[in-house]
Structure 1
Amino acid sequence: MANNQGRSVRQPTLLEVIIVLGLFLAIAFSFVSVVDLPIQLALFIALFLIVILGIRLGYTYNDLQEAIKSGISNGLEAVLILVAVGALIGSWIAGGIVPTIISFGLEIIHPSIFLLATLIICSLTSLATGTSWGTAGTAGIAMVAIGEGLGIPLPMVVGAVMSGAYFGDKLSPLSDSTVLTASMAKVNIIDHIKSMLYVSVPAFLISGAAFTIVGFTATGHVDMAGVESTINSLNSTFNIGWIMLIPAVVVIVLLAMRKPPVPTIAFGALLGVVWAGLFQGMDWIAALNTTYDGFVIETGEAFMDELLNQGGITSMLGSIVVILLGLGFGGLLNHIGALQVIVDSFKRFITNTGRLSISTVATGIMANIFGCAMYVSLILTPKIMEKNYDEMKVDRRVLSRNTEVGGTLTSGMVPWSDNGIFMVALFGVPTLQYLPYMWLSFAAIILVIIYGYTNKFIWYVDDEEEGQGHELDIASDQKA
């Protein structure tokens, strides 16, 4: 094999890949959990580890730099969304939108069912909008703020938000990640969603039951006097009323109409500035500045200041650096074929549909860990695994479903992935703290493995029996 300059290059050996990726994981986990250094620095070091391996394989530095740039360019929309969401949070607090939602939520939602309500509200929002990030940045922000006001452990709240956001995202034909997965697996989008129902609905019911049970135990010591105090403080600091919810409704409706997320969220941020000037009596320049520096207020109450002093583009800068470095890291790994080497090494393991399901989910998780972005996982996993499904005559709908479970539903579990970084920047809760409460994701992983080993809801291209799924048009798939 030769590179663009005609130089001979080779594929890395499994040992080389294990050594380099092992060093990366050791550095990343030690930085996050032991020495308390920023993950950005770990990724920056990891870039050069892969560059050294690439040069050893015969690539020039220019080859590898182009791979970094290509990886970054594929995920720049995520950076723009982060910028827009940061601006929106700052102006929505200043405009009274978030304070109104918090105040109404504290008055309406009983603490014991709050976690279940969070799951349902975020699921409905995500179904309507088709975006887990948009859901987290709108309904999710509000629910976390309400949960903080109720004194519910924030990792639990974030787990409920993410479970609901991912549930709706995976069943919405408006979701770009759902469309991408179906396209990469060469499956009709509606067939893909129908296949996902067999996993998503039971996983939703399981996680809903878990959040209900935990809700009754975790809220036993909620200080209702403190809740009332928070409501009074919000009412004395902001003008609270139903009219304050208009920007939130507008943004959700526009996202549901499949309008591009970046300008839609940016427009929502602008509405927040207008609301801050019109209804909160804020100076217009100061209101506009909240989109960049975030909202700042000194109420004299530590809890209220912590609750309200958030947002702004500057609050997202650290996350943007992580995403840029992570995308570059993923681009390098893809360019030198490191992930493919790992997957090829356990091909002999795939002897039945149970092991096929495990391998697909594992590939999706590895792509998130080493590719640092959900889209890397959704693109690479079907590409890497499709031959195994075809050889075993397993319907591609099973491939697309398992790819979603391994790729999308685990992306928020990786501290340095685009989803993990986005959620941490949004809610301020470390990945390893909310990860144990991503119950919908864990339930979905367990279900696809059970389906694989029991052969339940596993369809084959030559299976025409009623109840085993509809016939797959192989010819049309091959042309797609």
Structure 2
Amino acid sequence: MELLVISLFCFALLLCVLLNFSILYALVGGLCIFLLYGVQKGFTWRQMIRMSFAGVKTAKNVLLTFFLIGILTALWRAAGTIPTIVCYASSLFQPSLFLLMSFLLNCVVSVLTGTAFGTAATMGVICATMAVTMGIPLVLVGGTVLSGVYFGDRCSPVSTSALLVAELTDTNIFENIRKMLKTALLPFLASCFVYLLIGFFTPHGGAVMDLVPLFGREFQLHWIALLPAVLILGLSVFRVSVKLSMSLSILTAIPICLLLQRISIRNCVVFAIFGYRAQDTEVAAMLNGGGIISMLRVAAIVCLSSAYSGIFHQTGLLDGIRCKILALGKRFTPYAAMLCTSALTGLVACNQTLTILLTHQLCREDESDPQTLAIQLENTAVVVAPLIPWSIAGAVPLASVGAPTVSILLAVFLYLLPIYRLFLSFLEKRRQPQTS
């Protein structure tokens, strides 16, 4: 029965993708399916509703982060932070090297901030804006941004996913990071080479245009406008909470909007809620966006998928699958079993946190060494979740930069890392009989 329930949900997801319907329809349908399953198992409707709300409560910090990201992305635009950075940085890059630089810049910022969403909302947006001025397709930039933001989200000491994995496996986060960097070295270098190669063969509009006259029609381009970005990067070095860093950056951007850009308080509030809207049509094509309203869809996805976690935990819906995963690990390798599990849980969870939790819950008995279990989770669930088209792990960064969903196919690092580790796991298993 459990397999039938999960199959129905996956079918609903696939149907929405094929018919180009909002994934929210499938998630609402999935919630109904799981509630009916719980009632069929003997739980009351009241108990099932409580399970759902218990799961949603666990997502309150994520929802607050979305709220801050929406405001941050709008006010960074309104304050002239993003236009000023773009004007300064555009002279440093050649179009043929842009994809590589976009990947590396997002890697660096995500390591400093520890957040994929925050990095996409800041450096990702900057890279996307520069790409538009160079005539570089956003579908390519979306892939580099997605790869870069999850490189740091995976191995930053201030990353919530890295801290979660360390807590679940009872391991030291800094030892985990050391091993993560070691296991990711070759996939990282290979990703750099791929983006360099694609960059050389990507058509573009030629040299970077002089953006100062264009943005100067809408903004006062002054170094003071850089303060919100400098602040959030500086605070991340001292491991200040991401939410606190974002809040302080927002508070810094407000007086810059008022005093430097001459924006009224009323318009600041409107931008924060509904997103920035430039008066100049050319500037609007590059910069419009952000705002709390831009995060409503992904917030709804988080609420619904978090409700699932409460239901799964209380009803034991996934218990029967655990035995099959153990058998799969013995037949192939524990890593192969965890990789398959993370892909399946990612399809159902629709977010990275729940994917990590479910993968750990289902696979922890298949790996006795906590350190190995931690690294395997980092090399599977953490990087596989963004590759699910309807998961917010990939949808939020791509929505922040305005890239299409198909950009997931160009997130090279997120494919090379698990494939490389899968190859090594089979190689190690093949050598075991020879050394025994």
TM-score range with shorter-chain normalisation? over 0.9
- Asked whether 1:453 is paired with 2:435, we answer no
Secondary structure, counterpart of 1:108 in structure 2: coil
> How many aligned residue pairs are there?
432
1:362-401 aligned at under 5 Å gives the runs 362-390=340-368, 395-401=369-375
Secondary structure, counterpart of 1:298 in structure 2: coil
- Asked whether 1:117 is paired with 2:98, we answer no
User: In the TM superposition, what is the alpha-carbon distance from 1:430 to its structure 2 partner?
Assistant: 3.7
Deviations 1:337-384, CA, capped at 9 Å, x for gaps: 2333223224222226x5211111222222222122222222232333
Contact kept? 2:171, 2:370, Cα under 8 Å: yes
CA distance in 2, matches of 1:372, 1:68: 16
Q: 2:372 is aligned with what amino acid?
A: V
Q: Which has the larger radius of gyration?
A: 1
- Asked whether 1:323 is paired with 2:297, we answer no
Secondary structure, counterpart of 1:116 in structure 2: helix
CA distance in 2, matches of 1:174, 1:330: 24
CA distance in 2, matches of 1:346, 1:314: 40
Secondary structure, counterpart of 1:410 in structure 2: helix
TM (norm. structure 2) is: 0.93
- Asked whether 1:428 is paired with 2:402, we answer yes
Q: 1:320 is aligned with what amino acid?
A: A
User: In the TM superposition, what is the alpha-carbon distance from 1:105 to its structure 2 partner?
Assistant: 2.7
Q: 2:268 is aligned with what amino acid?
A: A
Q: Match of 1:296?
A: 277
User: In the TM superposition, what is the alpha-carbon distance from 1:404 to its structure 2 partner?
Assistant: 1.3
Q: Match of 1:7?
A: none
**Cα 1:116–1:372 shift into 2, 3 Å:** same
1:201-212 aligned at under 5 Å gives the runs 201-212=185-196
Secondary structure, counterpart of 2:91 in structure 1: helix
Match of 2:416 among 443, 450, 453: 443
1:454-473 aligned at under 5 Å gives the runs 454-455=427-428
Please identify, of 274-283 and 101-110, the stretch whose mean Cα deviation from structure 2 is larger.
101-110
1:9-408 aligned at under 5 Å gives the runs 16-34=1-19, 36-218=20-202, 220-224=203-207, 227-228=208-209, 230-301=211-282, 304-351=283-330, 355-390=333-368, 395-408=369-382
User: In the TM superposition, what is the alpha-carbon distance from 1:211 to its structure 2 partner?
Assistant: 0.5
Contact kept? 1:323, 1:417, Cα under 8 Å: no
CA distance in 2, matches of 1:429, 1:50: 32
Secondary structure, counterpart of 1:239 in structure 2: coil
**Cα 1:84–1:411 shift into 2, 3 Å:** same
User: In the TM superposition, what is the alpha-carbon distance from 1:386 to its structure 2 partner?
Assistant: 2.4
Q: Show structure 2 runs of 5+ residues with no match.
A: none
User: In the TM superposition, what is the alpha-carbon distance from 1:113 to its structure 2 partner?
Assistant: 0.7
Please identify, of 209-218 and 414-423, the stretch whose mean Cα deviation from structure 2 is larger.
414-423
Secondary structure, counterpart of 2:83 in structure 1: helix
Please report the RMSD computed on the Cα atoms of aligned residues, expressed in angstroms.
2.2
CA distance in 2, matches of 1:127, 1:26: 37
Q: Show structure 1 runs of 5+ residues with no match.
A: 1-15, 464-480
CA distance in 1, matches of 2:340, 2:121: 29
- Runs (4+) of structure 1 exceeding 3 A deviation are none
CA distance in 1, matches of 2:323, 2:131: 45
Deviations 1:433-480, CA, capped at 9 Å, x for gaps: 111111111111111111211129x99xxx9xxxxxxxxxxxxxxxxx
Q: 1:412 is aligned with what amino acid?
A: P
Please identify, of 148-157 and 44-53, the stretch whose mean Cα deviation from structure 2 is larger.
148-157
User: In the TM superposition, what is the alpha-carbon distance from 1:260 to its structure 2 partner?
Assistant: 2.3
Secondary structure, counterpart of 2:330 in structure 1: coil
Deviations 1:385-420, CA, capped at 9 Å, x for gaps: 222222xxxx33221111112211122122333313
Q: 1:213 is aligned with what amino acid?
A: L
Q: 1:18 is aligned with what amino acid?
A: L
Deviations 1:90-146, CA, capped at 9 Å, x for gaps: 111111001112222322211111111111111111222222222222211211211
Contact kept? 1:121, 1:139, Cα under 8 Å: yes
User: In the TM superposition, what is the alpha-carbon distance from 1:230 to its structure 2 partner?
Assistant: 4.7
Contact kept? 2:301, 2:350, Cα under 8 Å: no
CA distance in 1, matches of 2:322, 2:139: 33
User: In the TM superposition, what is the alpha-carbon distance from 1:335 to its structure 2 partner?
Assistant: 2.9
Q: 1:437 is aligned with what amino acid?
A: L
Q: 2:379 is aligned with what amino acid?
A: V
User: In the TM superposition, what is the alpha-carbon distance from 1:21 to its structure 2 partner?
Assistant: 2.0
**Cα 1:32–1:187 shift into 2, 3 Å:** same
User: In the TM superposition, what is the alpha-carbon distance from 1:43 to its structure 2 partner?
Assistant: 0.7
Q: 1:450 is aligned with what amino acid?
A: F
Secondary structure, counterpart of 2:240 in structure 1: coil
